[in-house]
């Protein structure tokens, strides 16, 4: 195990965020789990992490989350931007408030969180920013205009942070997973099954894994393992990159 660090992880009450909190705690880091869902408290406590409840669509909430980590642990070394939501609708019918909420949570919050954490990372001359993007940061699918725009934007933010952080020991990288078995995807499977009059297994095989070379969903722990690597001392030469964990989706 490397040097113990202070990590702030967002979107931690389930799915990928929960797996990341578990992994970073197991590695001996001090972790602040941030989520607007109170269920995140139980998840955090079970893993040995602290919890801060915040709706990250607000700028003050983002700054308060970093301030809470600093109050508890003195600084922030690792930031994992993971909180995310989905809304599926055609561009023609997409509600403006849904568009803004997705951009606020999935693009503006990562920016404000890294802005607030930056001085502490620079001061320590060591920082790791890991942004959970998506295969939908590389390619599009119909009906997901806001999500895809936010995720593509997150890649641009990641590259900019990499350039600005280079002289201060701060790295920034993005992860681009295809479908991971989480509550977010379970609800999409159920919706699509209803919409197309299909069995759930058929939705997984025919829709979600249509472009995948490896025909299975990804486990959250597989994503967490790559987060842990990118957050480690050993990954100090890796910055500005996007890591596909996409079952071969973008290989074609
Ligand atoms: P999830 O729904 O299990 O977790 C999302 C978390 O974000 C939840 O804990 C939720 O409470 C939290 N959250 C939602 N709105 C929030 C808000 N306003 N403020 C604070 N927290 C909020 O989903 P997941 O699948 O684990 O997704 C995590 C990330 O991974 C997202 O950014 C998602 O886009 C990305 N991702 C997921 C998949 C997948 O297939 N599951 C694939 C690629 C990328």
Tell me how far CA of residue 201 lies from CA of 15, 53, 215, in angstroms.
20, 35, 12
What local confidence, expressed as pLDDT, does residue 192 receive?
A: 85
Ligand 1 centre distance from Cα of residue 120 (Å): 26
Structural domains counted in the chain? 2
In a shared domain, residues 46 and 89: yes
Report the pLDDT value the prediction gives residue 82, as an integer from 0 to 100.
Answer: 98
Which of 8, 51, 66, 182 best tests ligand 1's pocket when mutated (most atoms within 8 Å of CB)? 182
Q: Does the residue 250 lie in any domain? A: no
Q: Is residue 1 part of a domain?
A: no
Same domain, 210 and 224: no
Both 100 and 196 in one domain: the answer is no
Residue-wise pLDDT for 174-229, tens only, equals 999 999 999 989 988 988 888 889 999 999 999 899 999 999 999 999 999 999 99
Q: 186 lies in which domain range?
A: 179-217
Residue 1 has a pLDDT of: 60
**182 touches ligand 1 (CB under 6 Å):** yes
Cα(167) to centroid(ligand 1), Å: 31
Per-residue pLDDT of the chain (252 residues; tens, 9 = 90+): 689 999 999 999 999 999 999 999 999 999 999 999 999 999 999 999 999 999 999 999 999 999 999 999 999 999 999 999 999 999 999 999 999 999 999 999 999 999 999 999 999 999 999 999 999 999 999 999 999 999 999 999 999 999 999 999 999 999 999 999 999 899 889 888 888 899 999 999 998 999 999 999 999 999 999 999 999 999 999 999 999 999 999 998
Within a domain: 26: yes
Do 189 and 78 belong to one domain?
A: no
What pLDDT score was predicted for residue 160?
99
Q: Do 51 and 128 have their domain in common?
A: yes
Is 82 close to ligand 1, i.e. is its CB under 6 Å away?
A: yes
Q: Is 147 an active-site residue?
A: yes
Does 210 fall in a domain? yes
> Is 251 contained in some domain?
no
**205 and 123 co-located in one domain:** no
CA of 17 to the centre of ligand 1 (A): 7
Looking at the structure, tell me whether residues 128 and 140 fall in a common domain: yes
User: Quick one: 15 and 126 in the same domain?
Assistant: yes
Give me the torsion for CA of 52, 243, 223, 229, rounded to 10°.
-80
Check pocket membership of 65 for ligand 1, CB cut-off 6 A.
no
Considering only CA atoms, which residue is closest to atom 43 of ligand 1? 134
**Position 252 in a domain:** no
Residues 194 and 129 in one domain: no
Question: Could you tell me if the CB of 153 is within 6 A of ligand 1?
Answer: no
Residue 128 located in a structural domain: yes
In a domain, 55, yes or no: yes
The CATH number of the domain where 46 resides is what? 3.40.50.720
237 alpha carbon – ligand 1 mean position (Å): 28
Check whether residue 44 and residue 161 sit in a common domain.
Answer: yes
Q: Same domain, yes or no, for 187 and 165?
A: no
CB 35 near ligand 1, within 6 Å: yes
Whether residues 122 and 138 fall in one domain = yes
pLDDT at site 170: 98
Q: Give the ipTM of the model, two decimals please.
A: 0.99
């Amino acid at each position: 195990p490397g040097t113990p660090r202070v990590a702030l992880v967002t979107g931690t009450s389930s799915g990928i965020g929960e797996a990341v909190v578990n992994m970073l705690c197991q590695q001996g880091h001090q972790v602040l789990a941030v989520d607007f869902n109170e269920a995140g408290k139980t998840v955090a406590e079970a893993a040995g992490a602290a919890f801060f409840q915040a709706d990250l669509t607000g700028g003050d909430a983002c700054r308060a989350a970093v301030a809470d980590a600093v109050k508890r642990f003195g600084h922030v070394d690792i930031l994992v931007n993971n909180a995310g939501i989905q809304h599926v609708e055609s561009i023609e019918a997409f509600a403006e408030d849904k568009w803004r909420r997705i951009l606020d949570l999935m693009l503006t919050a990562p920016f404000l969180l890294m802005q607030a954490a930056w001085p502490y990372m620079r001061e320590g001359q060591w920082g790791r920013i890991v942004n959970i993007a998506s295969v939908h940061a590389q390619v599009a699918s119909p009906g997901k205009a806001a999500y895809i725009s936010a995720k593509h934007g997150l890649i641009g933010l990641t590259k900019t942070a990499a350039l600005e952080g280079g002289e201060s020991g701060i790295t920034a990288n993005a992860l681009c997973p295809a479908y991971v078995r989480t509550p977010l995807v379970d609800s999409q499977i159920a919706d699509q099954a209803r919409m197309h009059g299909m069995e759930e297994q058929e939705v997984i095989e025919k829709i979600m894994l249509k472009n995948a070379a490896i025909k299975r969903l990804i486990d959250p722990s597989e994503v967490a393992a790559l987060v842990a690597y990118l957050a480690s001392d050993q990954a100090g030469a890796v910055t500005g990159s996007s890591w596909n964990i996409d079952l071969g989706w973008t290989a074609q």
